[in-house]
Structure 1
Amino acid sequence: MEPQVSFLTFATADLDAARAFYVAGLGWAPLLDVPGEIVFFQVAPGQVLGFFDAEKFAADAGGAVPPAVSGVTLSHNLGSRADVDSTVALLESVGGAVVRPPSESAFGGIYNAHVRDPNGVVWEIAHNRSWSVAADGTVSLG
């Protein structure tokens, strides 16, 4: 199997809160939005982030309603420390909860913060001077 993730889909107990945070708050345009069911956003070439009503997610997966998101972060890497500060402020202004404010990471050379969206998804907002992406999409972690 080729190493690729096409969809990241999270069950959400409050689809309207997810929509408000990402669409009204951040200005993201949905790729597909089915009220009461699911909303998808294209977040990279060939990659989609989705929020699926928890009960419908469970029915689709053939099981019980899943627990809240835990032990996962989505990372958004930026070009500068100032970009981290302003992005964290934006996320907080549209309903995100700052879990850890912008600061130097214990992992050398990374300036980052963690912000939880209204559905419990934690975003790491970071400036990592060793992070780069080549023209062909290959990632280098330095």
Structure 2
Amino acid sequence: MSIPQRFSLVTLGVHDVEAATAFYHRLGWTQARSSQVGEITFFATPGGVIALWETAELAKDAAVQTMHANAPAFRAVALAINLASREEVDDAIGDWVVAGGQISKAAAETEWGGYSGYVADPDGNLWELAHNPGWPLDERGLPQIV
């Protein structure tokens, strides 16, 4: 048996679905009609669906316990958006902050020849905003890697 090498949906655990939805709206994202106001929000992207769901409900659905209050904020995962240029990275980071997010790591040149910075949404979900000159973007904005 083989499991397909892809993902269909990433669900981000959030404290308040409506507040988190408002943040992503401020980034210019459009939610799917199948979203259920205040319960779960879906954003279709060229590469998969991003869902926002209350953290306790996500943990319950997965049959795991939520982290305790003093747990470290780092969840050992980051999502990434690749952009066409360093300038687009800087602009995206600026827009992220204006929308209410935070910079985790300022954008800088990388050892792999690119340019990258990290931001977090109001719930601490981590995103890398990057330009990788070795991964050209297709017409959907997805990196073409070998």
TM-score for both structures, normalised by structure 2:
0.83
CA distance in 2, matches of 1:130, 1:28: 27
CA distance in 2, matches of 1:93, 1:30: 20
Q: Please state how far the C-alpha of 1:28 moved relative to its aligned partner.
A: 0.9
Q: Please state how far the C-alpha of 1:44 moved relative to its aligned partner.
A: 1.6
Secondary structure at the residue paired with 1:4?
Answer: coil
| 1:84-108 deviation per Cα after TM superposition (whole angstroms, max 9, x unaligned) | 1111000010111001111112x32
Where do residues 67-86 of structure 1 align in structure 2 (5 Å cutoff)?
A: 70-86=75-91
Please tell me the root mean square deviation across aligned C-alpha atoms, in Å: 2.1
Query: Structure 1's 30 and 59: CA in aligned 2 closer, same or farther, altered over 3 A?
Result: same
**Structure 1 residue ranges without an equivalent (≥5):** none
Q: When the two structures are aligned, how many residues end up with a matched partner? A: 137
| 2:12 is the alignment partner of 1:7 | no
The one-letter code matched in structure 1 to 2:5 is P
Where do residues 16-95 of structure 1 align in structure 2 (5 Å cutoff)?
A: 16-23=18-25, 25-31=26-32, 32-45=34-47, 47-65=48-66, 70-95=75-100
CA distance in 1, matches of 2:21, 2:9: 17
Structure 1 runs of 4+ aligned residues shifted over 2 Å read: 58-69, 132-135
Percent identity of equivalent pairs: 32
Segment of structure 1 superposing worse, 59-68 or 125-134: 59-68
CA distance in 1, matches of 2:7, 2:13: 17
Q: Which has the higher strand share?
A: 1
**Structure 2 residue ranges without an equivalent (≥5):** none
Q: Is the 8 A contact 2:59 2:66 kept in 1?
A: yes
Q: Is the 8 A contact 1:54 1:66 kept in 2?
A: no
Q: Please state how far the C-alpha of 1:55 moved relative to its aligned partner.
A: 2.4
CA distance in 2, matches of 1:112, 1:77: 9
TM-score for both structures, normalised by structure 1:
0.85
CA distance in 2, matches of 1:39, 1:53: 10
The one-letter code matched in structure 2 to 1:17 is A
Query: Structure 1's 138 and 130: CA in aligned 2 closer, same or farther, altered over 3 A?
Result: closer
